A and B are shown apart, each in its own frame.
Chain A
Amino acid sequence: MGETLIKVEGLSKKFCRSLKKSMWYGMQDVGSELLGRRHGDDGVLRPDEFWAVKDLSFEVKRGECLGLIGHNGAGKTTLLRILNGLIRPDQGRIEMHGKVGALIALGAGFNPILTGRENIYVNAAVLGMSKQCVDDKIDEIIDFAEIREFINAPVQTYSSGMSVRLGFAVAVILIEPDILFLDEVLAVGDIGFAIKCLNTVQKMTNKSAVVFVSHSMQQISWFCTRVMLMNHGTLVMDSQNPSECIDQYYGLVKHEQQVSGTGEAEVIDVKLLVNKRIVKNIEPTIPHGAELGFRIKLAISSNRHWTAMSVNIADQTMQQIVTMPVREADGELKRFPAGLLDVELSMGKVELTSGKYSITISILDTENNEVLTRAQGLSPFRVISEEVHWGKLVRHITPHKITVQTRK
C-alpha cells in the first residue's frame, strides 16, 4: 500500500430539480464567482435544490481499489465527476496527487467521417497524450482493438462494437494514471475481448489508486479491497470487507412484487423453511449450504383442471437463476387440482453465491400452456457465503479419480 493519492474532507454538492431555476442559479453562481465569493452559498439550499452528496470524507492510497456502490442517484457518479475536476464542490476540500485518468466516455472526440487511424490521434489528444506517444504505441492499440483490416475505413462504417473496442483500446493502452476512475465499464466486446480488458485493467489497478463505481456486486467483490456504500448522497458504510458492505446494500434495496397471467390462479402466501423449520423474519439470511424448502398456499380456479407449477429462484436483477418444475416421482409434471391448496416442497441444499434472491412461482395450464399466474419477487431472502464465487449456482465437487503421469 503506497502513499495517499486522494484525500476528501467534508465534501458536499447540491443540484437543482427544476431546469429553469437551474439555469438561473447557474447565472447567479457565475456572477458570485466573478465577485470572488465562495461557491455553494455556505451550505444553504435555495428553492428546489437538494444535496446530491453530503459530508463525504475518505482517503485512497496507491494500490487500493475502492468500490462505490449504492442505488441509482446515490451520488456515485457525481462524486467521480467532482474528483475529476468537472464540477465544483459546494463544501469541503479535495486533494489529488498525480495524473488522473478515467475509463469513462470512451471514444471522445471521434468523428464518424474520419478513419479509425485518424480518430485514434484525436482521442489521444483529448486524453492529453502527445503525438509521439501515440506513434510509439499505435500498433499496440490497433492490435488490442482487433480491427486491423478496418483501421483505414471511416468510423461510420464500423459496427457499434468496433467503435467501442477502439475507444477502449486507446484509453487502456495510452493512459498511465496515478489515479484511475472506472464508471461501470470494466470490459466491452465479446467474451474473448472482455477477458482481455479485465486483465489489462487489473494490471493498471496495481499501480494506481482506483475508484470503481459499479452495480455488479461480483465485479466489486472481485476487484475491490475496500467498498463504500452511498445512500441518497451520504456515506452509509466504508469497509475493508466488501461482503459486509454489499450485504448492507442489499438491506437497502427493495424487491418489487409483480404478478402477471390470466388471473385464474393466485399465490396467496409463501413461507420459507430453512433446515425444515419455518423462518419468520421478513428478509432472512440463509447460510450457503443450508436446506431450503417452501410452504405455498394457492388458489386455483375451478375452470382449470390440470395445472402444473414451477418455482424459480431469481437474483436481485430478476434474472431467473434456478428453475424447479414440480414433478411426480416418476418424472411427469405434477398435476394440481382446482381449489385452495397448501403445497410443501423442498429444494435441498441451497448452494448459491452471496447475494439477494427472491422466489418466482408460475402456474400453467398443461393442456394449452397458458400462464394462469406468475408471481415474482416473493419472499426475498439473502445468502451469505464466506467465499466469493463468480457463478450464481455453486456445486462443490470432488474428483472420482486422479492419475498422475510421471513427469518427464
Chain B
Amino acid sequence: MNETRTTIYTPDSLLLHPYKMVVEMLSDLVAGRELAWRLTVRDLSAQYRQTFLGFLWAIILPLANTLVWIFLSRSGVVNVSDTVLPYPVYVFTGTMLWAVLMDALNAPLQTVTASKSMLAKINFPREALLVAGIYKTLINALIKVVLLMIALVAMGIYPDWGILLFPIGLFSLILVGTVIGLAITPIGLLYTDVGKAIPLLMQFLMYLTPVVFAMPKEGLPATIFQLNPLTPLILTSRDWLTGLSPEYLGYFVLVNAISLVLLLLFWIVFRLAMPILIERMGS
C-alpha cells in the first residue's frame, strides 16, 4: 500500500501552524491544477456552445460602449478633452482593458458562487476554483487582445517594441482584478448584496480612471485620477500597446508590488474563511 497521509482536524486556528498552512496551500494549488483546467474548459465550452455569435461576444460590449462614447464626444454632448491618441482608439483600448480588469475582478466571487453545491458536499482543493477563474479571464483576454490588435492596425496605429512589454500590462490588470475579487469573495458569499453592489461601484470607478476620459490636467479631478491605483495600469498598458512611452512607470511598479503581497494575504484569508462560510452559506 502506498504511503498513507494523515489528516487531523481540530478547532485550533490554522494560523497557529503557519508553516504547515503554507505547505498545504501550495500543495492544494498544485493538486488543483488539472481540476482548474477541466473547469475552465467545461465553462467556456458550455458558454460558447449555446451562443450563435460564439467568442465574438468577448468584444461586442466594449465595442458598443466605444461607439456610444465616440458619438457622445463628436456630437458635443459630452466634453472630452484632447487625448494624444485619436479619440476612438483611446476609448476602444481603454474599454477593452477595463473589461479585462472587470473579468478578473468578478471571477473569484462568480466561480465560487457557481460551485456552491460542490463546495458544500465534496472536499476538493478550493484554489482550483480561483485558478479556473484566472484561466478563464486569460483566455477571454487573449481573444480581446487579438481583436484589439487587428482593430488598431485597421485604425492606422502600428505598435513599436513596447508591444513586447504589453503582456506585463495585461498580467498586471489580471493580478489587481483578482486581488480585489478575492478580497470581496468571503463577505460576498454570505451577504449577496455585495455581489450586486460591485457592478455599480465599478461603473462609477470607470469614470474616475482614464478609460473613456482623458487624464485631467488640474484641480480635484486631476488629483483623484492620479491617486487612483488603477490609473497607471490602464495608462501603461495602453501606452505599450499603441507604441507610446509610458509616463507612470514608477507608480505602476508600486501598485503591482503591493498587489502581489495583498494576493498572498487575501489567499490566506480565503483559505481560512472557506470552511466557516461553507457551513453557513447553504447549498
Which residue of chain A lies nearest to B118 when distances are taken between CB atoms in the complex?
A: A108
Neighbouring B residues of A95 by C-beta, 8 Å: 6-8
Contact across chains for B118 and A126 when beta carbons are under 8 A apart: yes
Neighbouring A residues of B43 by C-beta, 8 Å: 111
Let me know if B227 is at the binding interface, CB within 8 A.
no
Let me know if B76 is at the binding interface, CB within 8 A.
no
Known: A84-B123, A111-B46, A118-B42. A97 touches B275 (CB 8 A): no
Please pick, from A36, A105, A131, the residue contacting B15 in the complex, using a CB distance under 8 A: A36
Q: Which of B32-40, B138-146, B196-204, B234-242 contacts A (4 or more CB under 8 A)?
A: B32-40
Contact across chains for A98 and B38 when beta carbons are under 8 A apart: no
Contact across chains for A89 and B13 when beta carbons are under 8 A apart: no
> Of residues 19 to 66 in A, which have CB atoms within 8 Å of B's CB atoms?
22-23, 25-27, 29-30, 32-40
Known: A33-B272, A118-B45. A86 touches B120 (CB 8 A): yes
Q: With A and B bound together, what is the CA distance between A334 and B275 in angstroms?
A: 65
**Nearest-Cβ distance from residue B70 to partner chain A, whole angstroms:** 37
Contact with A along B72-99 (1 / 0, CB 8 A): 0000000000000000000000000000
Please pick, from B13, B16, B121, B272, the residue contacting A86 in the complex, using a CB distance under 8 A: B121
Per the CB 8 Å criterion, the residue count for chain B at the interface is 46
Contact across chains for A26 and B276 when beta carbons are under 8 A apart: yes
Contact across chains for B42 and A111 when beta carbons are under 8 A apart: yes
Q: With A and B bound together, what is the CA distance between A97 and B50 in angstroms?
A: 44
Q: With A and B bound together, what is the CA distance between A126 and B50 in angstroms?
A: 24
Please pick, from A15, A85, A96, the residue contacting B6 in the complex, using a CB distance under 8 A: A96
Let me know if A268 is at the binding interface, CB within 8 A.
no
> Of residues 299 to 338 in A, which have CB atoms within 8 Å of B's CB atoms?
none
**Nearest-Cβ distance from residue A394 to partner chain B, whole angstroms:** 38
Contact across chains for B6 and A109 when beta carbons are under 8 A apart: no
Please pick, from A29, A89, A105, the residue contacting B118 in the complex, using a CB distance under 8 A: A105
> Of residues 1 to 56 in B, which have CB atoms within 8 Å of A's CB atoms?
4-16, 31, 34-35, 38-39, 42-43, 45-46, 49-50
**Nearest-Cβ distance from residue B69 to partner chain A, whole angstroms:** 35
Let me know if B158 is at the binding interface, CB within 8 A.
no
Known: A33-B272, A33-B276, A87-B278. A94 touches B8 (CB 8 A): yes
Which residue of chain A lies nearest to B12 when distances are taken between CB atoms in the complex?
A: A38
Q: With A and B bound together, what is the CA distance between A132 and B42 in angstroms?
A: 18
Contact with B along A1-31 (1 / 0, CB 8 A): 0000000000000011000001101110110
Neighbouring B residues of A27 by C-beta, 8 Å: 187, 190
Closest 6 CB pairs of A and B: A105-B121, A125-B38, A39-B11, A113-B46, A26-B280, A94-B9
